[in-house]
Amino acid sequence: MSAHVVAAGCFLAAAGVLTVPAAMREAAARRRLRRVVGSAPAGARDLTRPVGGLAGVAVALLVGGAWGVAVGVATAFALPRLLRRLEPAAARRIRQRESADLPLAADLLAAALRSGAPVDRAAAAVAEALGGPLGERLATAARALRLGAEPQEAWAQLAPVAGGERFGRAAVRSAASGAALAGALTRLADDLRADRAAATEAAARRAGVLIVLPLGLCFLPAFILAGLVPVIVAVLGDVL
């Protein structure tokens, strides 16, 4: 069996380790939501070391010699770190949904507070109505408030969400000073929607630039070959 066949087998095995247990990683993400802890599924990091080892063996076989061994060892150590920095698709979907639901959660909580409901019951009602990953976080915060936890500790559940720290600061400030929380949440919802609109507009502008870039890379060589090269060849022919 040649080294190239073994290397191809190692690459296929590494790809299989990453793709086959997708359902297991999705289940880990759902368990994480129920616990409302970190942002990355726990099962994703357990796969990085075997993938790095298989990729290192494949690279060593393909390169060959002492250089192959050195590059393979470097790959085996560096690849797991790179994979750990990648955000899993399930975690990315959770993060995006939480960020999209936060302005609505702020508006709903403000409406519940204006109706006279206590903060813990209002947060529980909004969590039940909202559902999803952000609803899980709000439900956990509501349970913590009901059990007598400090507001800063309870609302820390929203800290991993984009804009959640501002949400928590407003709630903690209201609990400490007695200021009305409903108005602060309404203003926060407007600010979050404005930030989201600005981010969407910036992403659209970047997409326009990225779309034009391949066209420019194709047009410039074509312009040189079709426009400048014939002129240069004709001038050189007349001169020589």
72-86, 148-162, 221-235: which is most confident: 148-162
Q: What are phi and psi of 40, to 5 degrees?
A: -110, 135
Identify the residue with better confidence: 219 or 165. 165
**1-12: pLDDT as tens digits:** 455 555 555 545
Is residue 150 scored above 50 in pLDDT?
Answer: yes
Judge contact between 198 and 185, C-beta under 8 A: no
- pLDDT score at 2: 58
- Domain of residue 131 covers 91-195
- pLDDT score at 8: 52
**190-224: pLDDT as tens digits:** 998 998 888 888 888 887 777 777 777 777 777 77
- pLDDT score at 139: 92
The pTM assigned to this predicted structure is 0.58
Mean pLDDT of the chain: 76
Is residue 129 scored above 70 in pLDDT?
Answer: yes
pLDDT band of 23, cuts 50, 70, 90: very low
Please indicate, yes or no, whether residues 189 and 128 belong to a single structural domain of this protein. Answer: yes
Please indicate, yes or no, whether residues 108 and 123 belong to a single structural domain of this protein. Answer: yes
**Residue 103 belongs to a domain with what CATH number?**
1.20.81
Is position 43 within any domain? no
Q: What is the DSSP string of 30-72?
A: HHHHHHT--SS-HHHHTTHHHHHHHHHHHHHHHH-HHHHHHHH
pLDDT band of 37, cuts 50, 70, 90: very low
Hey, is 141 helix, strand or coil?
helix
Please indicate, yes or no, whether residues 109 and 181 belong to a single structural domain of this protein. Answer: yes
Cα separation, 99 vs 79, whole angstroms? 30
Cα separation, 139 vs 172, whole angstroms? 17
